[in-house]
Structure 1
Amino acid sequence: MARSLDGLVLAPVADQAPGQVGTRTRFTYHEKDGEIWAEYAGGDVIRGHLLGTRQDDRLDFRYVQLKRDGSTSSGHCVSLVVELSDGRVRLEETWEWESQTGSGTSIVEQVGGQVGEDCGTGH
């Protein structure tokens, strides 16, 4: 199993569609006893939260977010935790909206070049 996500800051490697998370979005993860949660913001997202579980290298969570246009949306995501050769963490995600139509895949990676580097949240 890859190391804990607790305290890590991750960001998407590419922009999604307008009104969704993008390269300016920062996710601050927390992990304890198989529980996983994060706060996120940036780009078109004012505030977002995710909550779920981790079993080995598989995350299963629901997310909800408030966008700059005042709308809210929610969905479900399953992610695979991968440790990169430089020691950073990558999440390979498969997601589906529950509040609207749409689904897809995305990749988020730990911000910063050094493991344990204080990256800030970019907020």
Structure 2
Amino acid sequence: MTPLETYLHGIAERSDSYFQAHLAREDLVRVRKLAEMAAAIGDPEKLRHDALYIGWTPGDLRTIELKDQLLPLIDAFHAAAASPADEVVEQRIMDRWKAFHEARIRVLIHCL
């Protein structure tokens, strides 16, 4: 398991918030899909295009609002596919995940 998967799994298993636990479980699926896509798609521009809409928000209706945070995350996954088990790349993924997650929560709160 990658550090991000471990982090999300911990939230899914231990969070007292149903919303946080549910979102973490969904995120695990998305993160694994993104990792698979990054391993299969060598072209970074194609990966950016294909990975942008894999369900980051419900129905991807608000995903475009997160493009500025998502593209660096996708790029970090591309770098991880090229050099697996690189601690610097894994830390970059974690940092970019946190930036994406914070922005997404702000977007999702406006949906309530």
TM over 0.5: no
TM-score range, shorter-chain basis? 0.3 to 0.5
Q: Which has the higher contact order (CA 8 A, sep 6+)?
A: 2
TM-score by length of 2: 0.32
Query: Is the helix fraction higher in 1 or 2?
Result: 2
TM-score when normalising by structure 1: 0.30
Larger strand fraction of residues:
1
